[in-house]
Structure 1
Amino acid sequence: MRINGRERLRIVLGALAGVLLAAWASRTMAGSLGSAAWMVAPLGASAVLVFALPASPLAQPWSVIGGNTLSALVGIICVNLIGDPVPAAALAVGGAIVVMLSLRCLHPPGGAAALTAVLAQAADYRYALFPVLANSVLLIMAGLAYNSLTGRRYPHAQAKPVPGPRSRFTAADLDAALAHYNQVLDVSPDDLENLLHHAEMAAYRRSLGELRCRDIMTREPLSATQNMPLKEAWALMRQHRIKALPVIDQARGVVGIVTVADFMRQLEMDQPEGWGGRLRALIGLAPGGGGRPRVIAQIMTRHVRVVSASRYVIELIPLFADGGHHHIPVIDEERTLAGIITQTDLVKALSRAVGAGREA
Structure 2
Amino acid sequence: MLKPLLERWLPLPHTASLSERLRACTGAMLGLLLTAACSHWLLGDAAIYLVAPMGASAVLLFCLPASPLAQPWSVIGGNVVSGLVGAACVRWLGPGMASAALASCGAIAAMFALRCLHPPGGAVALTTVIGGPAVHAAGFGFALGPVLLNSAVMVLGAVLYNNLSGRRYPHAQHTPPNPHATRDPLPTGRLGFQPADLDAVLRQYGQVLDVSRDDLEAIIQQTEMRAYQRRFGQIRCASIMSRDVVTVEFGTPLAQAWQLMQHHRVAALPVLNPGRRVIGIVSQGDFLRHSGLDDFTSLPARLRHLLRPSGRSHGDKPEVVGQIMTARPQTAALDTPIVDLVPLMADSGLHHIPVVDEAGRCAGILSQSDLMAALYESRLAEMQQAA
2:114 aligns with one of 99, 103, 107:
103
TM-score (structure 1 length as normaliser): 0.62
Task: Kindly indicate whether residue 357 of structure 2 is the aligned counterpart of residue 346 of structure 1.
Answer: no
Q: Which residues of 2 match residues 241-320 of structure 1 at below 5 A?
A: 312-314=337-339, 317=342
Question: CA 1:341–1:55 in 2, change beyond 3 Å: closer, same or farther?
Answer: closer
1:167-222 residue CA offsets vs partner (Å, 9 max, x unmatched): 41111100001011111001121221111111111211122111368999xxxxxx
String of CA shifts for 1:303-324, please: whole Å, max 9, x gaps. Answer: xxxxxx9995436646874456
Q: What is the CA distance between 1:352 and its match in structure 2?
A: 8.1
2:150 alignment partner in structure 1: 135
CA 353–77 in structure 1, closer or farther in 2 if over 3 Å, else same: farther
Residue range with higher mean Cα deviation, 23-32 or 39-48 = 23-32
CA distance in 2, matches of 1:23, 1:320: 53
Structure 1 pair 151–79 and aligned structure 2 pair: CA distance change class (3 A): same
Q: 1:311 & 1:45 partners in 2: Cα distance?
A: 44
Deviation at 1:72, TM superposition (A): 0.8
Instruction: Tell me the residue number matched to 2:202.
Output: 178
Is the counterpart of residue 188 in structure 1 residue 212 in structure 2? yes
CA distance in 2, matches of 1:82, 1:16: 37
Q: 1:33-66 CA distances to partner (integer Å, 9 max, x unpaired)?
A: x42x221110000001111111111001111111
1:22 to 1:317, Cα distance in 2 relative to 1, 3 A: closer
Q: Pairwise mapping of residues 1-360 of structure 1 onto structure 2 (< 5 A)?
A: 1-31=14-44, 34-35=46-47, 37-83=48-94, 85-121=96-132, 122-123=135-136, 124-158=139-173, 165-167=187-189, 168-211=192-235, 312-314=337-339, 317=342, 321=346, 322=349, 343=372, 346-347=375-376, 349=378
Query: Structure 1 unaligned runs (5+)?
Result: 217-253, 258-308, 326-334
Give the CA deviation at 1:144. Answer: 1.2
SS in 1 for 2:188: coil
Alignment-mate amino acid for residue 200 of structure 2? A
Structure 1 pair 208–131 and aligned structure 2 pair: CA distance change class (3 A): same
Match of 1:156, SS state, is coil
TM-score, length-scaled by structure 2: 0.58
- 2-side partners of 1:135 and 1:129: how far apart? 10
Q: Give deviations 1:232-266, integer Å, cap 9, x for gaps.
A: xxxxxxxxxxxxxxxxxxxxxx9659xxxxxxxxx
Please tell me the root mean square deviation across aligned C-alpha atoms, in Å: 3.7
SS in 2 for 1:166: helix
* Identical amino acids, percent of aligned pairs: 48
Structure 2 residue identity aligned to 1:20: L
Aligned to 2:5: none
**Pair 324,145 (structure 1): closer, same or farther in 2 beyond 3 Å:** closer
Matched to 1:165, the amino acid is P
Matched residue pairs, number? 256
Gaps of 5+ in 2: 1-13, 178-184, 241-262, 267-333, 353-363
